[in-house]
Structure 1
Amino acid sequence: MTTTGIPTREEIVERVAALVPALREQAAWSEDNRRLSEETVAALADAGVFRLRTPVRHGGYECDTATLVEVAMELGRADGAIAWTSSVFWIPTWIAGLFPDAAQDEVFTSPAPRVCGTNSPSATAVPADGGIVVNGAWKFVSGAWHAGWQEIAAILLRPDAEPEPVMALVPMDELKIVDDWHTSSLRGTGSVTTVAEDLFVPEHRIIPMSASIRPQGLSRANAHSPVWRTPAALVAAASGAGVAVGLAKAAREAFFERLPGRKITYTDYEAQNEAPITHLRVAAAVNSIDQAEFHARRAAATVDAKAASGEEWKNEERARVRNDQGEATRLAKHAVDTLVSISGGTSIFLDVPLQRIARDIHAVALHALINPDTNAELYGRTLCGLEPNTLYI
């Protein structure tokens, strides 16, 4: 414990690692019910997982990115849905720290201060006296069932100005939840659709989207904290970089738990661990996990170093953080696929964790901001001296 009463990185990670066996027991329930169990949410809350990116003045830890990567890897060892949902909560919670202090006070002193959200401006807003009125819907809102607030994004339409993307903080009880999360992967994340119908949002809970992209927060209390000096897209990339690595680590554990006593059917190998193909595949998988961990840690180290120095980001540095998340995911997925390929037909049964891990990491790699090919292309583009072709960098 530090002198400020905030736990150290080692203490936080140790606390979360101790939860892994209990969290694994909840994974099947979450998969079947398409959301995290209340027991899981309570355990994560007690461990401080939801406070990692909350301002210190509101009882949070204001953790650096390296801590997020370590925690995400431990949570990924437990369950992909738990790791994904937790890492997604960290991003809109961080965005909330860019809002005026009055908005933060409202959110973080509320009975349910967890913040879910999305950066996709799939709604519209129009000016109203003292704020805006929002109509629209947002898909893929992970953790919506367990949040008290949502960070929303909309296009503000004004008769005398160009359309402007804005972000706003709204209580969940003012939104409608559409229970449409029927998927093959990451089922436990409860990434439902939320809907706003003629929703009034007061002015102090609105910021331009540009304030998070660069960032240029409107908070005075957080203005000097290095935590809020990183562009939002890179906060998201580094926050989630540990999830895929944790899933790969879970696959490694699950494979070796099943290995003793297994044979290779229709061959002379009575013990799978004696077959050269097993040796080659497990070595390849573990090498990929090690490499994935390098990229996840480098993404965090880059973000934390730039935040501490306050130096301006170069395009190549921005793109490399995105690329590191993509590479961590690609390598982790390769490790999982390799281990699954030598796990036999019995690994497809629903009570065998490997099949869920494989489905979950496939879904992670499909996310538009994580997709390895998309991020590699962006990185290569900047290495070739071209400007990025996206705002999310």
Structure 2
Amino acid sequence: MANLSSDHQLTTLERQLLNNATALVPYLQKFGTMIDEERHIPEEVIQKVSDAGLFKLGTPKEYGGHEVSIRAMVEIISEVAKGNGSVGWVVQIINGNNYTASLSLSSEALDSLFGQQEEVRFCSVLGARKAVVKKVDGGYLVEEGFWGFGSGSKHATHALLNLNDAKSMQESKNLGMMLAVVPMSEVTIVDDWYTMSLKGSASNSLEIKNVFIPEKYVVSQDTKQMSSLPVELKGRDKYKPYVQLITSITTGISAILGLARGAVEYFVEKAPHRGITMTIHHSQAEVGHIQYKVGLAAMKVESAHLHISRAIDHLERHVQNAEGFSLKEVAQLQTDMTYAAMLCWEAVDMLMAESGGSVIADSNRLSQIFRDIRGGSNHALTTASTGLELYGRVLMGLPPQHGMTLAYASSLGSTTGAKADNE
């Protein structure tokens, strides 16, 4: 299934990385059953992905990374997900986190982290279930902390963890994050990822007890940066004020888009050679209602991609012009991601319904896609009901219910969409 992005939107390097991802698809598809059964990605697969340069998409060039555009990151990762959902999810999470870390941390911290020979890979959890943290000389002491879900934890070198738990954030009315970099050697991975979906993503819970984190590895992140933009920022630094919106795009939707694309391609490939049991039809491809469903599913996936592209276009325009976002624009960007996820899920669900009884086999590729995209679409940043409620509330001048958008409304000095958009 062809991507909608034009080649001219990607650099030569980005096209090469996209080609690397495409070349990996058949290889990754062979590991689908093994990954699900063993609940992790084999090390040889991780090495293949690393050799293809696909863990360095979001890493700055000065540290040996590729520093691709946000658009290229979405396209490349979606291609990986066509090969396997769990691998796509882990590649997405690690690159998104590396990008977030590079925009959030000081140069001193980045030099220390990325200056080592080992390839740096961040897993993350952006909300603590429990965090008992004390400010001490030179940094913070995490007496006790528990985070879930740490996607890619078994393949990460570091964790990027929010030291604020939900209760403390609500009580203080500070919905920003205090992100801390913790080496995985200091983290206990709790083997509790027993799921129906994205089984190999190793999205285990993470636990910390009595760990000191130096001050330079802790950074406060909030949405106020988007409303007071320093115009002197240049190059990559221009993206720093928008890091939370960038996280909305780079964490979740890429793998979902790739899974949906893969489902359409797989169904189209198999349809000419598959009949419909208990009917006279010997080829699904020749049946009118199947043709309709394939056309509709493909349009849903392509429409999802258009929403993602719109969000990236809006973000890039604001970054290049050093413009603040209105509350409506923030809500629209977040809703674009959740609505795109819904369209992708609906497309796969439609194809699943036309695939006969054999599709329920765990080893069936469409069954794997169905399970993985269902779980991915339930991620906090891609849940359609949350996004659509958010957009509807803001359009009707009501205060947003979404934490990040609510914090941004507060930074504008407004609690209603109508007022914020008129300021």
TM-score of the pair, normalised by structure 2: 0.84
Kept in 2: contact 1:51–1:61 (CA 8 A): yes
> Relative to structure 2, which stretch is displaced further, 260-269 or 193-202?
260-269
AA in 2 matched with 1:250: G
Kept in 2: contact 1:155–1:163 (CA 8 A): no
AA in 2 matched with 1:109: G
CA distances 1:117-159 after superposition (whole Å, capped 9, x unpaired): 111033221012211111211111000111111011113999x
Kept in 2: contact 1:213–1:233 (CA 8 A): no
1:144 and 2:130 are equivalent in the alignment: no
CA distances 1:184-228 after superposition (whole Å, capped 9, x unpaired): 0010101001111011001111112327975999xx998853343
1:225 and 2:234 are equivalent in the alignment: no
Structure 2 distance, partners of 1:10, 1:298, is 21
Other structure's SS at 2:316 match: helix
* Cα pair distance change 1:216/1:90, threshold 3 Å: farther
1:210 and 2:222 are equivalent in the alignment: yes
Structure 1 distance, partners of 2:39, 2:372, is 13
Kept in 2: contact 1:16–1:75 (CA 8 A): yes
* Cα pair distance change 1:300/1:40, threshold 3 Å: farther
Q: Aligned residue for 1:124? A: 132
Other structure's SS at 1:182 match: coil
* Cα pair distance change 1:7/1:116, threshold 3 Å: farther
Other structure's SS at 1:257 match: helix
1:193-342 matches, within 5 Å, as 193-210=205-222, 214=226, 225-342=237-354
Structure 2 distance, partners of 1:23, 1:155, is 37
Q: Aligned residue for 2:67? A: 62
* Cα pair distance change 1:321/1:361, threshold 3 Å: same
Structure 1 distance, partners of 2:274, 2:61, is 51
> Relative to structure 2, which stretch is displaced further, 294-303 or 311-320?
294-303
Kept in 2: contact 1:238–1:300 (CA 8 A): no
Q: Aligned residue for 1:72? A: 77
AA in 2 matched with 1:105: D
Other structure's SS at 2:210 match: strand
Kept in 2: contact 1:238–1:299 (CA 8 A): no
Unaligned runs of 5+ residues in structure 1 are 1-5
RMSD: 2.6
Other structure's SS at 2:272 match: coil
Structure 2 distance, partners of 1:297, 1:251, is 21
Structure 1 distance, partners of 2:90, 2:277, is 39
Other structure's SS at 2:273 match: coil
Other structure's SS at 1:8 match: helix
Kept in 1: contact 2:124–2:150 (CA 8 A): yes
Q: Aligned residue for 2:52? A: 47
Q: Aligned residue for 1:113? A: 120
Task: Give 1:361's match in structure 2, choosing from 357, 368, 373.
Answer: 373
TM-score of the pair, normalised by structure 1: 0.90
AA in 1 matched with 2:108: A
1:38 and 2:43 are equivalent in the alignment: yes
Task: Give 1:85's match in structure 2, choosing from 83, 90, 97.
Answer: 90
Kept in 2: contact 1:91–1:236 (CA 8 A): no
Shift of 1:54: 1.2
Unaligned runs of 5+ residues in structure 2 are 1-10, 406-423
Shift of 1:303: 2.0
Structure 2 distance, partners of 1:148, 1:69, is 23
AA in 2 matched with 1:35: H
Displaced runs of 4+ in structure 1, greater than 4 A?
162-165, 211-217, 220-224
| Percent identity of equivalent pairs | 29
Structure 1 distance, partners of 2:95, 2:317, is 19
Structure 2 distance, partners of 1:223, 1:277, is 51
Kept in 1: contact 2:92–2:250 (CA 8 A): no
Structure 1 distance, partners of 2:35, 2:381, is 25
Structure 2 distance, partners of 1:392, 1:211, is 7
CA distances 1:95-128 after superposition (whole Å, capped 9, x unpaired): 2221122211222123241111111033221012
Other structure's SS at 2:112 match: helix
